[in-house]
Amino acid sequence: MGLLAPLALIGLITIPIIVAFYMLRLRRPSQPVSSTFLWQQLVRDVEANAPWQRLKRSLLLLLQLLLALLLAFVVARPFSEHPAGLARDLVLVIDASASMSATDVFPDRLTAAKRLAQEQLAQVPSDGRVSVIAAGDTARVVANEATDRGRISQAIESVTASTSASDLTDALKLANSLAKRARGAEVLVVTDDAFSASPDVVLEVPVRVLTVGRERDNQAIAALAVRADPSGLKRTLFVSVANYSGSIVGRSLQILADGVPVTARDLYLDPLTRADVVIDELPPGASVVEARLAPATDGDEPSGPPDYMPLDDAAWAIVPPDRLRRVLLVGPGNVYIQNAFALLPNVELYGATAAQWPTTTGKDKFDLIVFDGFVPPDLPNKPILAFAPPQTSPLGVVLGTLDEFGMGQPAVNDPLLRGVDLTRLHIARTQQMELPAWARAVLPGSDGPLMYAGLRDGQPTAVFAFDISDSDLPLQVAWPIMVSNLAGELLGLNAAALDPLAPSSPIDIPITPDSQGVRVTLPDGTVETLPPGATGASSVTFVTTRQLGVYRAEVIPAPAPSGSPGASPRSSPSGLGVATEDEPLLFAVDLFSSDESNIRPGDGARLTALGTDVPVDPANVGTARDEFWPLLAALTLLFLVIEWLVYERDGARRVLNGLRGLNPLRRSAGKAA
Amino acid sequence: MKRELLPSSVDPTVFDEAFLRQLERLMLVTKKAVRGGMKGVRRSVKRGQSVEFTDYRNYTLGDDLRALDWNLYARLEKLFIKLFIEEEDVNVHILVDASASMEGGAPDKMLFAKRAAAALAYVGLASYDRISMAVLQGRVARRFPSVRGTGRVFQVLADLSGVQPAPGPTDLVSACRHYAAQITQRGPLLLISDLFDANVERAISELAGTRCDVAILHTLSTDELDPPLEGDLRLVDRETGDGVNVTADLYTIDAYKSRLAAWQARLEEVSTKRRVAYVPIPTTLPLADLVFAELRRRNVVAA
């Protein structure tokens, strides 16, 4: 037993002071009464002529002396020592992945893990240093070599559950690098060990693992997607429900469109299987579809074991817009282009010659303008697809015409070339063009790009340097696919753009160069405003996608048109159109992770095996302290309350009598009497 | 009686006319027959002229023929004289404690005692009784001249108006003994006092020894029944000037009340043993209730 702050015992000097106060004679105000005949027999205090009086027995005095004694010892922080169970330098890794939100232990695995970690702090030597790493969507150091127990405890409590998947690899790498700084360090991992694969890391320090979690019963929505059929008239919902439990379960799958229930299906899932559900009856005009898993009931009894992880019981999907898109083809007329666009659903094709262009009205009504061998002097502020621009324009600088040239390697990962094979493409003649700063080369050539695309002043733009009539592209299978891809990028029809994001994944939101940024409404209703990263930027990156649900992005328009020429080589890789206030951009974030939904806890042996077998150096094991001040502080509080009650016993009795008076039974009994 | 008709020496706040009219219906009750001097409305031990028959005796020569019972003579042919109870007046003794402890209180104890004394005196006067009033102060009883007849009520009121609490200690035993020694004619004896005296039981014995019908009206103010005290105080005795330090809290007040109740119970026990009527009266009690309810209930007065 020792004292951490023995100087605090100076506070014991208050004890004689308290006693002195009790011995001092009290100065009392005089109160004339008719007679003191009756009072004389009730006197408690003995009057004395001296300023001091004899000390009397008093409960208040006893309590106050006890309080002073306890307070002095609380501040002095008494402790006892015992051999520490952990190394002097400890790196504590707390798994905060989505599976830690499972509720098979009360209240959930993460809270239980934090409780375990707090208990382990008692095993850390008194002079030990603890680093705490939260292994959520990223590995984050919340305390670095902290020695203050309060700060470590606070850091542990600050760890919050993530909604994303995590396999501890990054966290263990970080822990390894932190532990290597000190000799004889140790890594303590608190996790449910519910990973399909072992983390790909080898640690150079011993690893100790504490596991939480008991059950594996969980059902999840493993996939959710809405796709339009080729006609573009019907929307079909694909749902995949997985049962990670070891027994047959019944669940009700509820589908909501824009928050309104549409249909519900009862599913009976075999152990460790998936069930795919296709639903065709989505209401027209719906923009967001939500799927929920709820317990199916046979009569009054739930069917099967409980679902311990509610996080993956809901998923959202964005319905592809089915608005009619208008495309204007300006040129002499090209049957290949006309046929390719005519095949696209929800696309209406209009035509005009170059001579009719200046007099064409309602140009702003079109969603895409295709210039075939013609470029007007003033380009409309619309998405543009151009074939063989005859002269230099904002679409690109034309250097001349080439009859002999070589084809470069196509950018196969470009979204415009998805499913497109251009290896057998032959081009007879092309315009020699210079790649503009805002564009990326999709099909490079030896003397200039043959095809490029990008965001020009915030407008998706794609340019073919050659006339397709001078190539065999229209005769290939790749042509309608390429046009479909072009429509996806230029008209925002790309189905891939509507695929849900994984939690904590970044997303690029296209903006117009003159806009002031993007306003993103999160699923919980909070609003984040993102200013553009640079003047004239064509997109902003949104990274706060930790919540599961539907996000709504709106571009904040500029107060006055600035007309600043934007130039960015970046494309819109997601293929998203620019969101406006009238037509906001919706995107969903879903937890489709079998690793996280499969909550079967492990025993931590594979994690232990990642560390070294070398035991912790006994010389590096110190002594841990058990402090008693919390107990003493609780006792102090208790005695303080008792002292207050004794001092204010009159008030306490009044309150008690008042409460008795409020008792309706007593009151009614009194009335009856 | 109108207030403007009162003599200037009478405190106009003592009574009003309506109250006096009510008092006229009351009469002090004596528990046994008394010997008086003048003709009154009280039963006397003597046989005399009244309407209340008591006995017969044989006729002897010289008896008043008007007292013969002729009906009996017609039946028995013997002469009998009818005997009637003689009715006389009685001397009512009213003692008012005017010690310093009677001063103060809410309502004021001295004022209450004077009004109660005046009310009882008027009841006696209305019953054709003789009223002997005295004020106990110091070690003596200061007597006022005896009065008889309702017309002397102003004299009583004037006497009482001049009574003020005496400063200094009062010896209740000596004062009572002093008055008892002066009693020549027995009758109802009413003591109005707060009885704050260490030897109050001896004072009761002194009064009981007079063989009067003693009734003690124990007058206490609200401040004495439920002291509104709180905190650390030094209580100063109005009579002696002695101080007592107390820490007044609910426990202390409760202990005081218990002590007061025990004291009153002891006084009642002693009074009962001495055949004395003990009537505890709070000064908040309306005077009408005192005379018409409380004293009637205790059989001190009767309609």
Do B26 and B84 lie in one domain? The reply is no
Domain extent at residue B148: 3-32+89-302
Q: Which residues of B touch A33 (CB under 8 A)?
A: 223-224, 227, 235-238
Closest listed residue to residue A417, CA positions, set A485, A323, A488: A485
Do A612 and A472 lie in one domain? The reply is no
Contact A31 B234 (CB under 8 A): yes
Do A203 and A282 lie in one domain? The reply is no
> Is residue A184 a contact partner of residue A145, using CB atoms and an 8 Å limit?
no
A662 min Cα distance to partner chain B (Å): 21
Q: How many helices (H) and strands (E) does chain B have?
A: 10, 14
Q: 37-96 in B: which are within 8 Å (CB) of A?
A: none
Q: Which residue in B has a C-alpha nearest to residue A25's C-alpha? A: B245
Closest listed residue to residue B197, CA positions, set B165, B221, B180, B173: B173
- The pLDDT score that the predictor gives to residue B36 is 45
Residue A633 φ/ψ, nearest 5 degrees: -65, -40
Q: Which residues of A touch B251 (CB under 8 A)?
A: 649-650
How far from each other are the two terminal CA atoms of chain A, in whole angstroms? 63
DSSP string spanning A120-172?
HHTTS-TT-EEEEEEESSSEEEEEEEE--HHHHHHHHHT----SS---SHHHH
Query: Which strand (E) or helix (H) includes residue A513?
Result: none
Residue type, A604: G
Do B269 and B193 lie in one domain? The reply is yes
Measured in whole angstroms, how far is the alpha carbon of residue A484 from the centre of its chain?
Answer: 34
For the record, the structure tokens of A618 come out as 């006994």
- The CATH number covering residue A606 comes to 3.40.50.410
Measured in whole angstroms, how far is the alpha carbon of residue B95 from the centre of its chain?
Answer: 7
Low-confidence ranges of chain A (pLDDT < 50): 44-50, 230-231, 494-496, 561-575, 673
Q: Does B223 touch chain A (CB under 8 A)?
A: yes
Q: 28-47 in A: which are within 8 Å (CB) of B?
A: 28-47
High-pLDDT (> 70) share of chain A, %? 88
Q: Does B254 touch chain A (CB under 8 A)?
A: no
Q: Which residue in A has a C-alpha nearest to residue B223's C-alpha? A: A33
ipTM of the shown complex: 0.77
Do B107 and B195 lie in one domain? The reply is yes
What does each C-alpha distance from A171 to A201, A203, A396, A398 come to in angstroms? 10, 11, 48, 53
Do B10 and B64 lie in one domain? The reply is no
Do A351 and A478 lie in one domain? The reply is yes
- The CATH number covering residue A278 comes to 2.60.40.10
Query: Of A493, A517, A543, which closes a domain?
Result: A493
- Residue A560: burial class (beta carbons within 10 Å; 0-12, 13-18, 19+): exposed
> Is residue A50 a contact partner of residue B255, using CB atoms and an 8 Å limit?
no
Query: Of A466, A493, A520, which closes a domain?
Result: A493
Is the pLDDT at B243 greater than 50? The verdict is yes
The model's pTM? 0.51
Contact B256 A42 (CB under 8 A): yes
* pLDDT-derived band at B56, boundaries 50, 70, 90: confident
What does each C-alpha distance from A545 to A246, A262, A313, A504, B169 come to in angstroms? 32, 27, 18, 5, 93
Is the pLDDT at B284 greater than 60? The verdict is yes
- The CATH number covering residue B297 comes to 3.40.50.410
Do B115 and B254 lie in one domain? The reply is yes
- The pLDDT score that the predictor gives to residue A666 is 57
Do A472 and A348 lie in one domain? The reply is yes
- The pLDDT score that the predictor gives to residue A302 is 59
Do B69 and B210 lie in one domain? The reply is no
Q: Does B221 touch chain A (CB under 8 A)?
A: yes
- The pLDDT score that the predictor gives to residue A154 is 92
Q: Which residues of B touch A649 (CB under 8 A)?
A: 249-251
Q: Which residues of B touch A37 (CB under 8 A)?
A: 196-198, 237
Q: Which residues of A touch B255 (CB under 8 A)?
A: 42
B249 min Cα distance to partner chain A (Å): 6
Is the residue at A377 inside a domain?
A: yes
Do B172 and B283 lie in one domain? The reply is yes
How far apart are the C-alpha atoms of A35 and A38, rounded to whole Å?
Answer: 7
* Total domains in the fold of chain B: 2
Q: 154-193 in B: which are within 8 Å (CB) of A?
A: none
Q: Does B227 touch chain A (CB under 8 A)?
A: yes
Q: Does B236 touch chain A (CB under 8 A)?
A: yes
> Is residue A61 a contact partner of residue A67, using CB atoms and an 8 Å limit?
no
Is the residue at A290 inside a domain?
A: yes
Is the residue at A160 inside a domain?
A: yes
> Which of A37, A39, A649 is closest, CB to CB, to B246?
A39
Do B79 and B101 lie in one domain? The reply is no
Do A604 and A643 lie in one domain? The reply is no
Closest listed residue to residue A513, CA positions, set A542, A541, A535: A535
Do A339 and A474 lie in one domain? The reply is yes
Q: 633-652 in A: which are within 8 Å (CB) of B?
A: 649-650
Contact A42 B252 (CB under 8 A): yes
> Is residue A335 a contact partner of residue A245, using CB atoms and an 8 Å limit?
no
Do A162 and A248 lie in one domain? The reply is no
Q: Are strands A325-330 and A368-372 parallel, antiparallel or unpaired?
A: parallel
* Total domains in the fold of chain A: 4
Do B70 and B177 lie in one domain? The reply is no
> Which of A28, A649, A653 is closest, CB to CB, to B233?
A28
> Is residue A476 a contact partner of residue A425, using CB atoms and an 8 Å limit?
yes
Name A653's Cβ contacts closer than 8 Å, sequence gap at least 6. B250
Do B97 and B78 lie in one domain? The reply is no
How far apart are the C-alpha atoms of A104 and A108, rounded to whole Å?
Answer: 7
Q: How many CB atoms lie within 10 A of CB B234?
A: 18
Instruction: Look at residue B73 and give its three-state secondary structure.
Output: helix
Do A64 and A107 lie in one domain? The reply is no
Do A228 and A262 lie in one domain? The reply is yes
A28 min Cα distance to partner chain B (Å): 5
- The pLDDT score that the predictor gives to residue A575 is 44
Query: Which strand (E) or helix (H) includes residue A429?
Result: none
High-pLDDT (> 90) share of chain B, %? 26
- The mean of the pLDDT values for chain B is 81
Query: Of A493, A510, A525, which closes a domain?
Result: A493
Contact B236 A43 (CB under 8 A): no
Do B76 and B167 lie in one domain? The reply is no
Do A146 and A272 lie in one domain? The reply is no
Which of A25, A37, A56 is most worth mutating to test chain B (most B CB atoms within 10 A of its CB)? A37
Residue A89 φ/ψ, nearest 5 degrees: -110, 115
Query: Of B73, B88, B103, which closes a domain?
Result: B88
Is the residue at A577 inside a domain?
A: no
How far apart are the C-alpha atoms of A226 and A256, rounded to whole Å?
Answer: 13
B198 min Cα distance to partner chain A (Å): 7
Is the residue at A68 inside a domain?
A: yes
How far apart are the C-alpha atoms of A37 and A39, rounded to whole Å?
Answer: 6
Domain extent at residue A445: 325-493
How far apart are the C-alpha atoms of B41 and B31, rounded to whole Å?
Answer: 14
Q: Which residues of B touch A25 (CB under 8 A)?
A: none
Is the residue at A667 inside a domain?
A: no
Do B196 and B248 lie in one domain? The reply is yes
A241-268: burial string, b at 16+ Cβ within 10 Å, e else: bbbbbeeebbbebbbbbeeeebeeeebe
Do A117 and A242 lie in one domain? The reply is no
DSSP-derived secondary structure letter, A23: H
Do A142 and A196 lie in one domain? The reply is yes
> Is residue A6 a contact partner of residue A76, using CB atoms and an 8 Å limit?
yes
Q: Which residues of A touch B224 (CB under 8 A)?
A: 33-34
- The pLDDT score that the predictor gives to residue A149 is 84
* pLDDT-derived band at B27, boundaries 50, 70, 90: very low
Query: Of B88, B110, B127, which closes a domain?
Result: B88
Is the residue at A650 inside a domain?
A: yes
Q: Does B97 touch chain A (CB under 8 A)?
A: no
Is the residue at A15 inside a domain?
A: yes
Q: Which residues of A touch B243 (CB under 8 A)?
A: 30, 36, 47
